Amino acid sequence: MAHFIGYAIPGIPYGCTYAIVAVGLVLTYQATGVFNFAFGAQAYTSAFVYTKLVQDDGLPIWLAFIISVVVLAPLLGLIFDRYLFRKIPNTNTTAKLVTGIALFVGIPALLPVLFGSANQYNSPSILFNPDTVYFRVANTPINGIYLSSVVITAVVLIALVILMRFTNLGLQMRGAVESRRLVQLDGVNSGRVIAIAWAVSSFMAGLAGVLLAPIYGQLQSQDYATLLVAAFAAAAWATLRSMPIAALVGILMGVADTVLQGYLPASSAWSAAVLPSLPFIVLVAALLLVPGMRQLHDDEDPMASVDPPPPPTVADTRAPQLGRVIRILWYVLLAGFIVSMLSWIPQNWESVFNSGLAFSAIFLSITLITGMGGQLSLAQATLAGVGAFTAAELANHIGLNYLAGAVVGALLAAVVAVVLALASLRLRGLGLALMTIAAAMFFDNSVFTQIGQSNGHALTVQAKWVGLGILNANGHALFVLSMIVLLVCVLGVTLVKKGTTGRYLTAMRGSETAAAGIGINLTWQRILIFALSGVVAGIGGTILTIQQQSVNPEQFNYQLSLAFVVIVVTTGVGSIEGAIQAGMGFVVVQQLLTYLPARYGGSGLTFVLFAFGALTYAAHPEGVLEFQKRRWTMRFERLIFRDRSSTDDPGSPDGRDDGATAGVRAPLGPRSVDGSYAGVATPDGGISS
Amino acid sequence: MRRHLRSRSPAPATRKGVPAAGSLVSVAGVTKSFGGIAAVRDVSFTIESGESVGLVGPNGAGKTTLFNCICGQLRPDDGTITLGATVLDGLPTYQRARLGIGRTYQRVEVFSDMTVREHLLVAERARGAEGRLWRDLCNRASPTAAELARVAEILELIGIADRAEIPVSALGLGSCRLVELARALVADPIVLLADEPSSGLDVTETQELAHVLRALQRERGMTVLLVEHDLQMVADVVDRTIVMDLGAVIAHGTFDEVMADPTVRHAYLGISG
Amino acid sequence: MSGPSSPAAALVDANGATGVDAPALEVEHVSAAYGPYRALFDVSFAVPAGSITALLGSNGAGKSTVARVVSGLVASTAGKIKLGGTDLTGKPAYRIARAGMAHVPEGRAIFGNLTVEENLVMAFRQRAGRRRVPESLERAYQAFPVLGERRKQAGGTLSGGQQRLLSLAKVLVVPPRVLVADELSLGLAPVVIEAVYNGLREINRAGTALLVVEQQVDRALDLASEAVILEHGGVAFAGPAAQALAAMEGVLAGRGTRPQP
C-alpha cells in the first residue's frame, strides 16, 4: 500500500493538468457547442506571452499575468467567436472541426514568427515556488508544482461547476448551445451569451497555460498539444458533459500512469510501448464504450429548420471548349515540368519537387477519404508512416526489396485503415476525428518511436534495399520513380472517382438516407474508401522515405496528420488537382521561405499560411484556392465568350465595360488557369473539377 | 413486376407469424415508440399488387414513422412487414431497396453534387449490387448502353428529359421531387412509397406530379403507397385510403367513404359533424 | 389560474402603454423565404388587442412561417411587423421577445438537456424579473402539477404532451402582450388539448392577444373571435371567426379548381 501511494502521488500533478484542460474542453463544448481543438494552442499562447513578458521585458509577474491571462486570453476567444465560429451554423460539425484544427496548427507556428523563436525555460510560477518542498506525504516530497496543480484544479473545477450549474449565465449558456434560436424566444441575447462563453473558456485556457508552464522545464507547444489530446480522453469519458467526471478521469489517468510505471519492470517493452499511449487507449475505449459519444449529434437544434439551406458554391461548370483548353494546358504543363526536371532545374529544387510529388500522393489519400468519402480523418500521416516503416523493417530484417516492401506496406496501411473504419463505423464527425487522432497518437508514441529507437532513432534507407540504382547519384532516377508512382496513384484515384465507387460516394455525401434508399451499402462503401485511402497514403509514405533516405518517426507524427488536413482543405479537398497543388504548394512555399530571414524559415510560416487558408473552410468548403480558381475561370470564360455575346448584342453598354476590364485582366487569366500555384501539371483537368 | 419478384426475392421466408402470401405488401401489428411515446401503435394493413393506397392523417399521426419502418431506416419495436413472400424484418435499408421498395422523401433528399441524369444512373447501378472496384480501376465502370437507354426512358416518362444535364442544386423544389420520383422508378420498384410529394409545391407543380403518379399507376400498374395532405391529389390518385391518427389506423375504405366518416372529419379535417 | 388582479395581469397593463387603439400585432405586406424557397407572398392581417385570432390553412400554406416571421426567427424579405404600434421589423428575436412577444413554436420547443425547472427559470428571468422567479415557479407548478412532480427531470425525457405543457407554462404564468401559439394541439390526446386550450383562454382573459396557429379548424374557431386563412403563402380569408368555417370548407372543396397563378 505504501508502495502504491508512493507511486500514485507523483501522478497527481500530471493528472491535474489533464483534468484542468479536460474541464476547459467540456466547458467550451457545453457553452458554445464547439469542441475546441485550439484550447491547447490558446493555453500555450498565454503561457508564451506571460513568460516572454517576465523574462525578456522584465515586467512584474502580476502585470504579465494580467496582460496574458486577463486581457489577451479572453480577447482571443472573442476574436475566435466573432470572426470564425459565429459564422458557422451550429449543425456544421465539419466546419467547426476544421476551423479548430486550423487554429491548433496555425497558432503555435505563428507565435515564434511574431515574437522570435527562442525557446523559453523555467516559466515563473505565480502561486507556489516549484523548487520549495512544502511538506511530505508518504515520504513523497510535495513541492510547489504539486500544490499549484492541485489547488488550481480544485478552484477551477468548483468555480466552473458553480458557473454552469448555479448561475443564470451558465443556464443561458447551456440553453444557447442547444438552440441559439430558442433562447432568443425567452428574451435572451444569444450572441452575447455565446461571446461571454468564449471569453470565459478562453480565460480558462490562458489560466491553465500560465499555471502549467512551470511544470514543464521548457515551454514547448508540443507539450500543450499532447496534453490536449490526453484531455480529450477524459472529456470523452464525461460525454463532453460532466466537468467533475472529466476531472476525475483526468486525475486517474495521471495516477494510473505513474502507478503502472512503478509496478511494470522499467525496461520491459510493455512499459515502453503502453505507457506513452495510455491516454489514447483510454480515448479509444471511451469512443467504443461510452454510448453518448456515438449520439453527439443526435440532439439537434429543435429550431434547425429555421436556418436557410447553405448557399450554393461558385458554379463548377465551364464551357466544353474551355474545359478542353484547360486540359491541354495541363498536359503541356506536365510535359514542360518533366522536361525541365530532366534538364535545367537545379539539384536542390529537383529534390524539393520530388518530395512535392511524394506529398501529393499522401494528400491524394485525403482527397479520397475526406473529399470523396466525406469523412474527416486525422491519421493520414500515420497511414503513410505504416507504409514506410513496414517497407523499411522488411528490408532491414528479411532483405525484401524496398519497392516490394512498399506494396506490402501499402496493404498493411490499408488494413490499419480498415480496422479504424470498423472501430468507427457508428461514429461521425467529431467522434471519427477523435478516433483517428487517437490512432495517430498511438502509432506516433508507441509504434513508430519504438521501431525508431530499436534502430537508433532513425532507419537509414540503404541503397541495396531499394535496388535499381535509385539512390545512386545519377540524377533523375528518384524523380522518375516518384513521377511514375504519382501518376499511377492519380490514375487510380481518377478511375475510382469517376467509376461506380466514386458515384456512390458522391451520392452518400449528398444524402446517406437516400443513398441507402436506392440500394447502396453504406458500411461497405465506407470500409472501401478507408482501405483505398490507406493504400495511397502508404505508397506516398514509402516514396517520401526513399527520397529522404531515412525513416524517421518525426516524418509521420500526429501533428503532421493535422497539418496535412489543413493544407489540403486550403487547396481543395474535393479534387485531384487540389491534392497536387497541396503537395507542390507545401514544399515550394517551404523552400521559398528559406530565402527569408531564419526567423520566418522552416515549416512554421508555411503552416501559418495554410492555416489561414483553412480558416475560410466554413465559407469555402471547396477550398479557398479552388474557389479563386473557379472564379477566375468564370471570368476567363466570360472573356472568351465576350466576342460572341457582343456580336449577339452589339449595342450592349456592358460589352464595352467588359472590354475595358478584359484589357486589364487578360494577362492574369491564363496564369491563374494553368495552375501557377503548384508548378506542376496533372492530366486530370477534365475530370476532377 | 412479377419477374422481379421472382428473380430478386430470396427463398420464401419461414419465420414466425408470417401472414399468408397473396398481398404484395403486408404490415402486421407494427409498433414503434420514441422515448416511451408511441408514434405508431399496432398498425396493420395490406396492399395488393397494382393497387394505389393513400395514407392520410394529421401531422404527427405516425405516417412518416411507418414509412421509415417499411424502408428499414427505423426498426419497429414489434410487428412484421413482408414484401411478397419476403419478411423484411431486420434487413438493412439498402437490401430492402434492392428487393424492390422505392421511396421519395418528405424533406427532399437529393444528391446535391449530381445532375439529374447522374441521379438516375447511380440508382440504376445501385439496384443490382455493389460496384466492383476492379471494374472502376479497369475503366469499365462507365454507364452501359442498356443503363443509358433505361435512364432515358424514365426521364422521358417523368417528363424531365429537358432538365437531364442540370445539377439538382440549380433546380427548384418541384423538379427535385420529380427527380426523386424518377430515381425511385429507375430501380424498377415493386412498390413505390411517396411521402408528401406535394408539400412545398405550388398548384401547377402539384398537378404535374399528380398527373405523373396517375399515369404510372393507371398505365403501368405501379403499386403506390402515398402519404399526402393535398386531399384533391389523394382523391385523384388512390384506389383506397387509410386514415391514421395518434399512431393508429382510425379508418379505411375508398376516398369518399373515409372522408364521410365522422371520426375522420373530426381528427383530420378538424370539422365535427 | 390567475384572476384579473393578479400581478401577471398588472404586468400586462404596465406593458400595454399604447392603449387599446393600436392592434396588438400588425403584419403588413410581409413576404419571406427560406433561402431560395419562397414561403410567404404579401401577407397582411392584424390581431386586435385582447383578441384571439386563429391562423388556419392546409399543410405548407405558410402558417408556421408567419409565426416565425412575427417572432423574428425568420427575417421577412418585405413588409412590416408592428407590435402594439411599434415597428419591430428586422429586430433580433430576443428584442421582439422583450417587447412583449411570446412564441411557442411547433414541435419540441423546450431545452431537452435542461431540467423542467431550468427551462422555466430561463423564461421567467426575462419575463418576470429575477425577484419574481420563485413565485412564478410556484404558480406554474400549481397550474400544471405534473411539471411540479418532474421539476428535476430533464426536459427531453418528458412525453410529447408534457413538453407542450412545459412550453406553455413558460408563457402562461407571466402573460405577454402577444402570444403566438404554433400547432399547440399537434399530436396531443384530446384531454391534453382541452387543458391546453383552457390555458389559452385563461391567458387571454389576463389581457394577452393570441395568434393561434391550428390545423384543427373547429377547435380553433371555437376559441377564436377572428380568423385568417392562408393558402399557398398568401391570405385567402381574413375576418370574423363565424364566417371562417364556410371559407375553410370553400378552400378545401376548391382545391382542385383553384385559380391558376
Q: What share of chain B is helix, strand, coil (3-state, %, to 5)?
A: 40, 25, 35
- 3-class SS of residue A614: helix
Q: How confident is the model at residue A672 (pLDDT cuts 50, 70, 90)?
A: very low
Give A105 to chain B, closest Cα distance, Å: 30
Write out the three cell numbers for A251.
486525475
**Which of B60, B173, B269 is closest, CB to CB, to C37?**
B173
How do C209-213 and C52-57 pair as beta strands?
A: parallel
Record: contact C118-A188, CB cut-off 8 A: no
Amino acid at A5: I
Amino acid A123: pLDDT: 72
Sheet of strand C226-231: strand arrangement: C101-104, C178-182, C209-213, C52-57, C226-231, C234-240
**Mean pLDDT for all residues in chain C:** 80
Instruction: Quote the CA–CA distance of A310 and B120 in Å, as a whole number.
Output: 24
Q: Of A302, A307, C58, C54, whose CA–CA distance to B201 is shortest?
A: C58
Report the share of chain B in percent with pLDDT over 90.
Answer: 26
Look at residue A313 and tell me whether its pLDDT is greater than 90: no
**Which of C160, C215, C258 is closest, CB to CB, to B58?**
C215
Averaging pLDDT over each range in A120-134, A294-308, A480-494, which range is the top one? Answer: A480-494
Those residues of chain A whose CB sits closer than 8 Å to some CB in chain C are 168, 171-172, 174-175, 178-179, 181-191, 299, 302-303, 306, 308-309, 311
Amino acid A684: pLDDT: 30
Contacts of C73 in chain A (CB under 8 A): 181, 184-185, 303, 306
Look at residue A365 and tell me whether its pLDDT is greater than 90: yes
Amino acid B22: pLDDT: 65
Look at residue A305 and tell me whether its pLDDT is greater than 80: no
- 3-class SS of residue C240: strand
Q: How confident is the model at residue A687 (pLDDT cuts 50, 70, 90)?
A: very low
Record: contact A174-C98, CB cut-off 8 A: no
φ, ψ (nearest 5 deg) of residue C101: -100, 130
Q: Which of A79-88, A664-673, C71-80 has the lowest mean pLDDT?
A: A664-673
Look at residue A464 and tell me whether its pLDDT is greater than 70: no
Average pLDDT for A658-664? 30
Amino acid at A297: H
Amino acid C247: pLDDT: 79
Q: How confident is the model at residue C179 (pLDDT cuts 50, 70, 90)?
A: very high
- 3-class SS of residue A104: helix
Write out the three cell numbers for A246.
472529466
Q: Of C18, C76, C27, C73, whose CA–CA distance to C50 is shortest?
A: C18
Q: Which of A529-533, A680-684, B16-20, C123-127 has the lowest mean pLDDT?
A: A680-684
Amino acid at B45: F
User: Across-strand partners of A551?
Assistant: A459
CB proximity B133 to A under 8 Å? yes
Look at residue C105 and tell me whether its pLDDT is greater than 90: no
Chains A and C form CB pairs within 8 A to the count of 87
Those residues of chain B whose CB sits closer than 8 Å to some CB in chain C are 35-37, 58-61, 172-173, 196, 198-200, 202-204, 229-232, 235-236, 246, 266, 269-272
Task: Specify the higher pLDDT residue, C123 or A316.
Answer: C123
Pick the residue of A518, A526, A532, A689 with the most B CBs within 10 A to test the interface with B by mutation: A518
By CA distance, what is C170's nearest residue in A?
A186
Write out the three cell numbers for C25.
400585432
User: At CA A661, angle to CA A658 and CA A664, rounded to 5?
Assistant: 150
Strands of A615-671, DSSP E? none
Instruction: Quote the CA–CA distance of C88 and C73 in Å, as a whole number.
Output: 12
**Which of C159, C218, C255 is closest, CB to CB, to B270?**
C218
Those residues of chain C whose CB sits closer than 8 Å to some CB in chain A are 33-37, 68, 71-74, 92-94, 97-98, 102-103, 105, 107-114, 118, 121-123, 125-127, 130, 156, 170
Q: Which of A48-62, A524-538, A620-634 has the lowest mean pLDDT?
A: A620-634
Q: Of A453, A452, A477, A474, whose CA–CA distance to A547 is shortest?
A: A477
Averaging pLDDT over each range in A274-283, A376-385, A467-476, C223-232, which range is the top one? Answer: A376-385
Q: Return the number of other C-beta atoms located less than 10 Å from residue C230's C-beta.
A: 25
Pick the residue of B125, B132, B193 with the most A CBs within 10 A to test the interface with A by mutation: B125
* Dihedral sign of CA atoms B198, B201, B206, B209 in order: negative
> Per residue in A171-189, pLDDT tens?
998 888 888 888 888 889 9
Give C59 to chain B, closest Cα distance, Å: 7
DSSP A299: S
φ, ψ (nearest 5 deg) of residue B244: -115, 150
Average pLDDT for A443-455? 75
Contacts of C249 in chain B (CB under 8 A): 271
Q: How confident is the model at residue A652 (pLDDT cuts 50, 70, 90)?
A: very low
Give B72 to chain C, closest Cα distance, Å: 24
Task: Specify the higher pLDDT residue, B131 or B261.
Answer: B261
- The answer to whether B196 touches B229, Cβ cutoff 8 Å, is yes
φ, ψ (nearest 5 deg) of residue A300: -85, 165
Chains contacting chain A through 3 or more C-beta pairs under 8 A: B, C
What radius of gyration do chain B's Cα atoms show? 19
Amino acid at A254: G
Look at residue C60 and tell me whether its pLDDT is greater than 70: no
DSSP A295: G
Q: Which of B53-67, B200-214, B224-238, C191-205 has the lowest mean pLDDT?
A: B200-214
**Mean pLDDT for all residues in chain A:** 80
Q: What share of chain A is helix, strand, coil (3-state, %, to 5)?
A: 75, 0, 25
Supply the DSSP string of A427-487, one letter for each residue: --HHHHHHHHHHHHHHIIIIIIHHHHHHTTSSEEPPHHHH-TTTTSSSSSHHHHHHHHHHH
Q: How many CA atoms lie within 13 A of C35 on its CB side?
A: 12
How do B240-245 and B223-227 pair as beta strands?
A: unpaired
Write out the three cell numbers for C48.
386586435
User: Across-strand partners of A351?
Assistant: none
Write out the three cell numbers for B195.
411521402
- The answer to whether A470 touches A406, Cβ cutoff 8 Å, is no
Average pLDDT for A244-271? 82
CB proximity B117 to A under 8 Å? no
Record: contact A510-B167, CB cut-off 8 A: no
How do B223-227 and B52-56 pair as beta strands?
A: parallel
Contacts of A519 in chain B (CB under 8 A): 94-95, 97-98, 123, 126-128, 187
**What's the predicted TM-score (pTM) here?**
0.82
Instruction: Quote the CA–CA distance of A547 and B240 in Å, as a whole number.
Output: 72
Pick the residue of C111, C116, C177, C180 with the most A CBs within 10 A to test the interface with A by mutation: C111
CB proximity B272 to A under 8 Å? no
**Which of C37, C126, C156 is closest, CB to CB, to A188?**
C126
Q: Of B35, C165, B60, B108, whose CA–CA distance to A298 is shortest?
A: B35
b/e string for A273-310 if b means 16 or more Cβ within 10 A? eebbbbbbebbbebbeebeebbebeeeebbbebbbeee
How do C52-57 and C226-231 pair as beta strands?
A: parallel
Q: Return the number of other C-beta atoms located less than 10 Å from residue A457's C-beta.
A: 12
Contacts of B37 in chain C (CB under 8 A): 159-160
DSSP B207: H
- The answer to whether C143 touches C173, Cβ cutoff 8 Å, is yes
> Per residue in C9-31, pLDDT tens?
333 444 444 444 678 899 999 99
Q: How confident is the model at residue A343 (pLDDT cuts 50, 70, 90)?
A: confident
- The answer to whether C42 touches C234, Cβ cutoff 8 Å, is yes
User: Across-strand partners of C80?
Assistant: C28
Amino acid A77: pLDDT: 94
Q: How confident is the model at residue A436 (pLDDT cuts 50, 70, 90)?
A: very high
Amino acid A469: pLDDT: 60
Element (H, E) at C37: strand C37-47
Q: How confident is the model at residue A489 (pLDDT cuts 50, 70, 90)?
A: very high
Question: CA A41 → CA A205, A377, A504, A593, A605, distances in Å?
Answer: 9, 20, 38, 23, 16
Average pLDDT for B236-256? 88
Amino acid A71: pLDDT: 95
Q: How confident is the model at residue A453 (pLDDT cuts 50, 70, 90)?
A: low
* Dihedral sign of CA atoms A340, A343, A349, A351 in order: positive
Amino acid C211: pLDDT: 93
Contacts of A525 in chain B (CB under 8 A): 130
Pick the residue of A299, A503, A684 with the most B CBs within 10 A to test the interface with B by mutation: A503
Amino acid A675: pLDDT: 28
Supply the DSSP string of B17-44, one letter for each residue: TPPPBTBSEEEEEEEEEETTEEEEEEEE
By CA distance, what is A510's nearest residue in B?
B111
Q: How confident is the model at residue B6 (pLDDT cuts 50, 70, 90)?
A: very low
Q: Which of A180-194, A238-252, A268-282 has the lowest mean pLDDT?
A: A268-282
Amino acid at C31: S
> Per residue in A203-226, pLDDT tens?
888 888 887 787 777 777 777 877
Instruction: Quote the CA–CA distance of A550 and A103 in Å, as a whole number.
Output: 30
Report the share of chain A in percent with pLDDT over 70.
Answer: 82
Averaging pLDDT over each range in A291-300, A546-555, B78-87, C2-11, which range is the top one? Answer: B78-87
By CA distance, what is C67's nearest residue in A?
A306
Instruction: Quote the CA–CA distance of B13 and B17 in Å, as a whole number.
Output: 11
Q: Which of A366-370, A454-458, A497-501 has the lowest mean pLDDT?
A: A454-458
Supply the DSSP string of B235-256, one letter for each residue: HHH-SEEEEEETTEEEEEE-HH
Report the share of chain C in percent with pLDDT over 90.
Answer: 20
Report the share of chain B in percent with pLDDT over 70.
Answer: 85
> Per residue in B66-106, pLDDT tens?
999 999 988 899 999 999 888 999 899 999 999 989 999 88
How do B223-227 and B191-195 pair as beta strands?
A: parallel
Q: Which of A78-82, A316-320, C91-95, C164-168 has the lowest mean pLDDT?
A: A316-320
- 3-class SS of residue C259: coil
Instruction: Quote the CA–CA distance of A619 and A127 in Å, as a whole number.
Output: 44
**Which of C58, C218, C248 is closest, CB to CB, to B272?**
C218
- The answer to whether B251 touches B240, Cβ cutoff 8 Å, is no
Q: Which of A299-303, A517-521, C149-153, C168-172 has the lowest mean pLDDT?
A: A299-303
> Per residue in A384-407, pLDDT tens?
999 999 988 888 888 888 888 889
Instruction: Quote the CA–CA distance of A545 and A352 in Å, as a whole number.
Output: 14
Q: Which residues contact C56 (CB under 8 A, 6 or more apart)?
A: C63, C214, C215, C217, C220, C221, C227, C228, C229, C230, C244, C248
Q: Which residues contact A476 (CB under 8 A, 6 or more apart)?
A: A341, A342, A350
Amino acid A441: pLDDT: 86
Amino acid at A82: R
Record: contact B110-A514, CB cut-off 8 A: yes
> Per residue in A40-85, pLDDT tens?
889 989 988 988 888 888 888 889 989 999 999 999 999 999 999 8
User: At CA B72, angle to CA B67 and CA B77, rounded to 5?
Assistant: 85
Instruction: Quote the CA–CA distance of A235 and A22 in Å, as a whole number.
Output: 5
